[in-house]
Structure 1
């Protein structure tokens, strides 16, 4: 019986893959941090967005049918998210968060050269540093804050892709995290929620 179900599984999956087209590609660009902070009531704090960067590759899966407007895309991306924290009466800080992200997107092609994309994102923390500028000494001290952040965080990706010429495309996306990224409240903030607006170029082979 086990052999029968295994053979059935192989038959069904091989049939699905035989009717599916796979295309691979690369993409890279910049991100504009929209990260928000929830701060203690006695701290006068505000965040300033900074530009970061991202890049990686993807595989696009689609049925062998010209009438089908839906496709599925799995990506592996490196994301560098930067933002600044300003405190009245205190020193300024700059945070740098590195994530390895795996978006799984459903793509709907309104036109052959334009698609709307949305899906979950699985984010793995690769590293995090916080730089503190001391105005009195005019020096900057960087500290590792990996232990203050969660190693895994779910997120979302919502955006659109426009194909400029053949496989060359431009990609615009909004990437919010779901929930706070820090494990516990700190003296600087109670809740840290990373998010970014990303823009980039890519090529689908």
Structure 2
């Protein structure tokens, strides 16, 4: 269970205690916080949100760039628990989207050294994000649910319910060129 954060309400007095699901640490705190780059214990609203949803183990938490259907980029907190993916507005700690891990079909990544990954969700629109911690995100997904991970330098994703986009990666001198095209 390395790299997991178990939610312990005793760490934050602002979060109401839920006696029906007591959570206890079974590993040292520094080990539990290995992939918590936003310090979720310092965000009472995030703790309340996770407790309300019933999630108790956070496998990954960090700030990422999320791409909207219109092509805009927005900073969001990405949290992966043992049951769901959370997309949260970091300015307000408000939930923007919760995706059950069971709804995830696959994760698409390029074969190159870029920061992009797409979470493919057949029942709704997909999630395209960029993070310097792409490999840690994939590891957290695999630990939680073992989705198929597909590597390709070109793949499609549903940017919105009625909008399919294609993302293309090309190795160029000094890095990777990324193009997002409308289909």
The structure with more radius of gyration? 1
Higher helix share: 2
Higher relative contact order (CA 8 A, sep 6+): 1
Q: Scaled by the length of structure 1, what TM-score is found? A: 0.27
